[in-house]
Amino acid sequence: MTGTVTPEQSSIDNLAKLREMRDKALQGGGTARIDAQHAKGKMTARERLSILLDEGSFQELGALATHQVTDFGMGRKRYPGDGVITGFGRINGRRVAVYAQDFTVLGGSFSQVQAQKINKLQDLALESGIPIIGLNDSGGARVQEGVRSLAAYGEVFQRNVEASGVIPQVSLIMGPCAGGAVYSPALTDFTIMVDQTSNMFLTGPEIVESVTGEQVTAEELGGAAVHTGRSGVAQFEAKTEIQALEMTKLLLSYLPANTSEDAPILVSDDSPDRMADELNTVVPTDDRIAYDMHRVLEDIFDTDSIMEVHAAFAPNVICAFARLDGRPVGVVANQPTVMSGVLDIDSSDKISRFIRICDVYSLPVLTFVDCPGYLPGVEQEYNGVIRHGAKIIYAYCQSTVPKITVVTRKAIGGSYVALGSRQMGADIAFAWPSAQIAVMGPDGAAKLLHGKAIKASNDPQAAEAEFVAEYRERFFNPYRAADLGQIDEVIEPRETRPRLIRALEVLQTKVVNTVPKKHGLFPV
């Protein structure tokens, strides 16, 4: 009969319609906008996902969702997916949830539909115990949706906080990220920014100028260099989008899928018994001369296994993920080449945040101490070095993961106590023979204890030198602390790697019982 549609024909039509709609979703905002995105040196959201995820692993959800808004001509601006691509995939075979804002669709602006799609993904990731990765590239709250888009941010923030401490959350900033949009990344565990093509700020350059009169470019106000170096808002700076995506994969390799699991242990071809002979001479005999702690760490940890976190922020300390005999660990170390490795406000933020991340993901914390103490100064005191410095103490005391400390040289005053001392929960404390563990340096002690006697003596210089020599002999070494049991063992620097590996083997079954409470009051 003419005009009758057979069941077969109906199925073919249905499939054709689905394929057409899917095709449309794949086109995002269309060729011209994709070209404009490329012209800015940026990839499209789908191109980014194809690099991030294992080939063929992406399973999209919500590809056909569109908004129902009609204000300001929005009825004519409907795009399947509504400017964000959401779904699941695998990275190096491990499951992840991922969303990527599509700037080619209405500037990636954040809508109620975007929030619904991201919320669903956040819920599924949390319930399934897998990491969630957000690729941000958006003009912020969609203006045409008014308060709906503002409320939508709240829905994302709420879930960011619920997932915090349960699953890894990683934010990549790959374009603009303005207004309230910055707070979702700020609530996640890690933020990675791309140099020159990404910005984060609460208010852009025009508003800044109109309110404060300051003239800045978007890059100067909130580019990757600013946030990875100055503000500490972002932990990683990538030179290119591809590098940012590769960094994400590397970062996840150190972390478990959730806080109930352990991070993957890789097979290492670096011998656990390897001695690092160069370390026996790395610390200069003159304690005013610096040495590079990066070199020390590279000699101790598995070959090419170190990934520094917050490298450009507070470089007077080093925080890094690394591996020892294939097992991921967190490393905290002073860097003597920058401000003598002193502790200040920014380094307190950096260390305490990192320790809490290690603790929540069950990564042992290994601390390498060469620090003259907390930084003195009016500016530091006025800006609250006491409450910021307290964060380090709180983080060490609160953490229950295995903790091993190695004093390489100075552990003087506050730095001895704050940086992983036995009394604050270190399970094992080693010291190198070059360690100097005391309340203060010899010159300060000479002035404090014998200042008047030195001045009154016939030869003040000789009197001071005599006191300093005696102080160094008695106190300025690791042996008094070892004698008192505050250092468990003084070791040759060359044997640090095997010592740490053996100690971690013992501590891997460490259990700590904590008093139940709602939560402590972490100093902020």
Strand partners, 96: 89
C-beta separation of 329 from 255 below 8 A: no
**Which CB sits closer to ligand HXC, 241 or 325?**
241
Does 389 bind ligand HXC (CB under 6 A)? Our answer is no
Query: In the range 149-188, which residues lie near ligand HXC by CB under 6 A?
Result: 150, 153, 176, 178-181
Cα–Cα dist 125/98, whole Å:
9
Instruction: Work out how close the CB of 145 gets to ligand HXC at its nearest, in angstroms, rounded to a whole number.
Output: 8
Which sign does the torsion angle of CA 309, 260, 186, 223 carry?
Answer: positive
The string of DSSP letters for 369-386 reads: EEE--BPP-HHHHHTTHH
**Which CB sits closer to ligand HXC, 203 or 457?**
203
Does 141 bind ligand HXC (CB under 6 A)? Our answer is yes
C-beta separation of 142 from 149 below 8 A: yes
Cα–Cα dist 406/487, whole Å:
9
**Which CB sits closer to ligand HXC, 141 or 173?**
141
Q: How many residues bind ligand HXC (CB under 6 A)?
A: 17
Instruction: Work out how close the CB of 197 gets to ligand HXC at its nearest, in angstroms, rounded to a whole number.
Output: 10
Strands of the 84-91 sheet, one edge to the other: 59-61, 84-91, 94-101, 132-136, 169-173, 190-194, 236-238
Instruction: Work out how close the CB of 247 gets to ligand HXC at its nearest, in angstroms, rounded to a whole number.
Output: 24
Instruction: Work out how close the CB of 316 gets to ligand HXC at its nearest, in angstroms, rounded to a whole number.
Output: 34
- Interface with ligand HXC by CB under 6 A: which range of 89-97, 138-146, 317-325, 447-455? 138-146
Instruction: Work out how close the CB of 503 gets to ligand HXC at its nearest, in angstroms, rounded to a whole number.
Output: 46
Does 142 bind ligand HXC (CB under 6 A)? Our answer is yes
Does 264 bind ligand HXC (CB under 6 A)? Our answer is no
Q: How many CB atoms lie within 10 A of CB 137?
A: 29
**Which CB sits closer to ligand HXC, 179 or 493?**
179
Cα–Cα dist 505/508, whole Å:
5
Query: In the range 99-118, which residues lie near ligand HXC by CB under 6 A?
Result: 106-107, 109
**Which CB sits closer to ligand HXC, 71 or 277?**
71
3-class state of residue 233 by DSSP: coil
C-beta separation of 205 from 288 below 8 A: no
Q: What does the CA dihedral 38, 170, 115, 140 come to, rounded to 10 degrees?
A: -50
Instruction: Work out how close the CB of 42 gets to ligand HXC at its nearest, in angstroms, rounded to a whole number.
Output: 9
Does 67 bind ligand HXC (CB under 6 A)? Our answer is no
Instruction: Work out how close the CB of 84 gets to ligand HXC at its nearest, in angstroms, rounded to a whole number.
Output: 13
Q: At what angle do helices 241-253 and 45-52 cross, to 10 degrees?
A: 40
**Which CB sits closer to ligand HXC, 208 or 275?**
208
Least Cα distance to 109 among 142, 153, 67 occurs for 142
Instruction: Work out how close the CB of 132 gets to ligand HXC at its nearest, in angstroms, rounded to a whole number.
Output: 19
Site string for ligand HXC, 361-380 (x = CB under 6 A): --------------------
Tokens standing for 125?
């990731």
**Which CB sits closer to ligand HXC, 107 or 402?**
107
**Which CB sits closer to ligand HXC, 101 or 486?**
101
**Which CB sits closer to ligand HXC, 106 or 322?**
106
3-state DSSP of 262-320 = CCCCCCCCCCCCCCCHHHHHCCCCCCCCCCCHHHHHHHHCCCCCCEEECCCCCCCEEEE
Instruction: Work out how close the CB of 87 gets to ligand HXC at its nearest, in angstroms, rounded to a whole number.
Output: 23
**Which CB sits closer to ligand HXC, 109 or 348?**
109
Cα–Cα dist 385/80, whole Å:
51
User: Which one-letter amino acid corresponds to residue 45?
Assistant: A
Query: In the range 200-259, which residues lie near ligand HXC by CB under 6 A?
Result: 204
Instruction: Work out how close the CB of 315 gets to ligand HXC at its nearest, in angstroms, rounded to a whole number.
Output: 31
Name the residues that contact ligand HXC, by CB under 6 A.
Answer: 106-107, 109, 139-144, 150, 153, 176, 178-181, 204
